[in-house]
Structure 1
Amino acid sequence: MARLQDGSGMGGWGRVVGWGGSTRFSGLGRIARRAAAALALLACAGVQAQNNTLHILVGFPPGGGTDAIARTLADRLKDQLGVPVVVDNRAGAGGQIAAQALKAAAPDGNTVFLTHDHTISILPQVMKNPGFDPAKDFVPVVGFATFVNAFAVSGGTPAKSVAEYVAWVKSQGAGKGTVGVPAPASTPEFLVKVIGQKYALDLQAAPYRGSAPMMADMLGNQIASGVASVPDFIENHKAGKLRVLAVLGPTRQATLPDVPTFSELGLAGFDDVPYYGLFAPAGTPRAALDKIADALAKVLAQADVRERLTAMGLTVGFMNQQQLASREQAYSQAWARLIKASGFVAQ
């Protein structure tokens, strides 16, 4: 019976000896080794390709303002970085799930979190155990825009101004109303409370899992009003499917020149505008952070990208790592004062 010999000195598994000691086949070992080496190279190439993909975590579902911003940037970042860029939606809990995913990600420069103020600056202050600590678990990469929140009504709501909305709510049943917000314990939810206090209304916030499902209910007239970012509302406002009645911030928005600020209406304390930025896991090498920041700076320099982001309701402006860190700290401190003044207790 044939037996396989060691083949030492003949290229590994070198020969198969048949009946009577005649060589049936030689060189099998050399072929096997070459095949194994080729497979190994293919495997390494696959791992390398996977590792060289930039994943942008987004804490809200597809279809919302943050998702649209992420996809606009991802489309151009891939050209600047020379690698695939994938938007990874981890929706739920006001960005908490995506933030926890960022904490668990390897600090290798292949994962960043595109987010606004809520998840980084506010959520850790209104939850006892959010599952992450921005100061310890994350590092700022780059900021790219500021924006403001807005109050809007659905197409089926007759009000065309805040005053008309207040009168309408009071006519509907003892001043009780429900206002949609993209996430619990968020800037929009606090604004609902302040609006209710300002106008003597019994307004209850209805938290959603992101702005997209809230918008769907507003467009379907399932809920009469909502508070979210201007990028969430702008497209449907321009299409006449809903109406933005007021915006936060110190000045009117270029994309909504006819819409008054809440400050104009006598509601002060919301002048500090939120931000959008990228964050990475703590321990990510500075070279990797700088590479992403440099690529984003080049993307923001493209006129059509700036025009697209501005049309979404953003004020585009590059913030380096230190500038983003400073803005986040200032915004976090401002909201700490507002949260304390509101009497809100961390859940």
Structure 2
Amino acid sequence: MSTRRQTLRALGAGGIAASLGLPLHSRAQGALLENLKIVVGFPPGGTTDAFARGLAEQLRGKYATTTIVENKPGAGGQLAAQALKAAPADGTTLFLSHDHTISILPLVVKNPGYEPHKDFVPVAGFATFVNALAVSGGTPAKSVDEYVKWVQTQGGGKGAVGVPAPASVPEFLVKVIAQRYQLDLVAAPYRGSAPMIGDMLGNQIAAGVGSIPDFIDQHKAGKLRVVAVLGGARQAALPEVPTFAELGLKGFEDVPYYGVFAPAGTPRATLDEFSAALQRVIAMPEVRERLSGLGLAVGHSSGEQLAARERAYSATWAKIIKDSGFQPQ
């Protein structure tokens, strides 16, 4: 069993909580929520789902009598976001998501069915991560320069690069990489990172752009190679891999985030209580170690801090998307 799979099993099966033997403080005596539902916009088995399930396990009997994770995959989290908008604003339904659904989809979809700044309120952030360019084992490339030369010689400067979803940050990164290295690269969208990585492992596609958590285990196993990462510094999980900034491609230092969101109008006291509970979970040393091993930079941020990060991230990518010539669909 792979390290990542073992990690995700531990997170999703309560390893983030019960197996550590580290208790959370309960809510006020007799004040447990009856039910807590954490909505996830992606299928079971991924990092987002695993963290949501571990958190739900830890909060059961301490923050709420019953805690469940509801997966609503599809359209890059759009269906899950619409479900959150329709949920009661009483603290019983929360949405655990990363940047794509909150910051990017409203920029690339004309009518996503929700307005994050109007319909949601940020509760807390718990991690950031970076995207990366990886090449399949079927290519000889061990660096970005070698990949560029390989594309030039094998495809006459033309090539396809996998991305986990259409109109996502990875797709726009493919455009930027193509411009930087004067290649004719086409983004090949998949329905999630798993099928993309499957095709990379089968040498059906030579390269892909996705998050470090998507690639890290296969990179360490030598089955594919991460050749460059975004962000302002090299990543602790992959210290040997240079940043694109080191290679001359700057302007992508602002990194994506993971956070929890609630329907607008949810009482502030309820949000603060959940934020404090989340902070205690990610403070557990073994939890931090596990998530860091997946390539996440773990750290709690308040709802206000998460909102500020989301605004800055949206502004950065609004310009990049506009400059790319992309028209919202």
TM tier, smaller: 0.7 to 0.9
- Bigger CA radius of gyration: 1
3-state SS of 2:274 partner: helix
Q: CA shift at 1:288, angstroms?
A: 2.1
Query: Residue 115 of structure 1 corresponds to which residue in structure 2?
Result: 97
**1:286 and 2:268 matched:** yes
Match of 1:245 among 209, 227, 251: 227
CA RMSD of aligned residues (A): 1.6
Match of 1:81 among 40, 63, 67: 63
In structure 2, how many angstroms separate the alpha carbons of the residues matched to 1:263 and 1:312?
Answer: 22
Query: Residue 310 of structure 2 corresponds to which residue in structure 1?
Result: 328
Asked whether the 8 Å contact 1:62–1:212 carries over to 2, the reply is no
In structure 1, how many angstroms separate the alpha carbons of the residues matched to 2:83 and 2:90?
Answer: 14
Query: Residue 185 of structure 1 corresponds to which residue in structure 2?
Result: 167
Asked whether the 8 Å contact 1:60–1:91 carries over to 2, the reply is yes
Query: Residue 28 of structure 2 corresponds to which residue in structure 1?
Result: none
Aligned residues between the structures: 297
Match of 2:217 among 211, 225, 235: 235
3-state SS of 1:168 partner: helix
Q: CA shift at 1:80, angstroms?
A: 4.4
In structure 2, how many angstroms separate the alpha carbons of the residues matched to 1:120 and 1:251?
Answer: 24
Q: CA shift at 1:273, angstroms?
A: 1.0
Structure 2 vs 1, CA of residues 215 and 67 (structure 1 numbering), >3 Å: closer, same or farther?
farther
**1:343 and 2:325 matched:** yes
Deviations 1:57-84 (A, max 9, x none): 2222223332233334333333642533
Q: CA shift at 1:132, angstroms?
A: 0.7
Q: CA shift at 1:108, angstroms?
A: 2.1
Structure 2 vs 1, CA of residues 63 and 176 (structure 1 numbering), >3 Å: closer, same or farther?
farther
Deviates more, 1:145-154 or 1:212-221: 212-221
**1:171 and 2:153 matched:** yes
In structure 1, how many angstroms separate the alpha carbons of the residues matched to 2:180 and 2:197?
Answer: 25
In structure 2, how many angstroms separate the alpha carbons of the residues matched to 1:157 and 1:72?
Answer: 37
**1:314 and 2:296 matched:** yes
Structure-to-structure mapping, 1:57-96, within 5 angstroms: 57-78=39-60, 80-96=62-78
Asked whether the 8 Å contact 1:93–1:184 carries over to 2, the reply is no
Asked whether the 8 Å contact 1:150–1:248 carries over to 2, the reply is yes
In structure 1, how many angstroms separate the alpha carbons of the residues matched to 2:214 and 2:56?
Answer: 19
Deviations 1:225-268 (A, max 9, x none): 11111111112222222211110001000000000000011111
Structure 2 counterpart of 1:128, one-letter code: K
Structure 2 counterpart of 1:136, one-letter code: K
In structure 1, how many angstroms separate the alpha carbons of the residues matched to 2:139 and 2:54?
Answer: 32
Structure 1 counterpart of 2:87, one-letter code: A
Query: Residue 26 of structure 2 corresponds to which residue in structure 1?
Result: none
Structure 2 vs 1, CA of residues 192 and 54 (structure 1 numbering), >3 Å: closer, same or farther?
same
**1:143 and 2:111 matched:** no
Deviates more, 1:336-345 or 1:267-276: 336-345
Q: TM-score, normalised by structure 1?
A: 0.81
Structure 1 counterpart of 2:267, one-letter code: P
Match of 1:103 among 85, 98, 103: 85
Deviations 1:295-326 (A, max 9, x none): 10110111011111111111111101111111
Asked whether the 8 Å contact 1:151–1:246 carries over to 2, the reply is yes
Q: TM-score, normalised by structure 2?
A: 0.86
Asked whether the 8 Å contact 2:35–2:64 carries over to 1, the reply is no
Deviates more, 1:262-271 or 1:212-221: 212-221
Consecutive unaligned residues of structure 2, counting only runs of 5 or more, are 1-32
In structure 2, how many angstroms separate the alpha carbons of the residues matched to 1:153 and 1:174?
Answer: 18
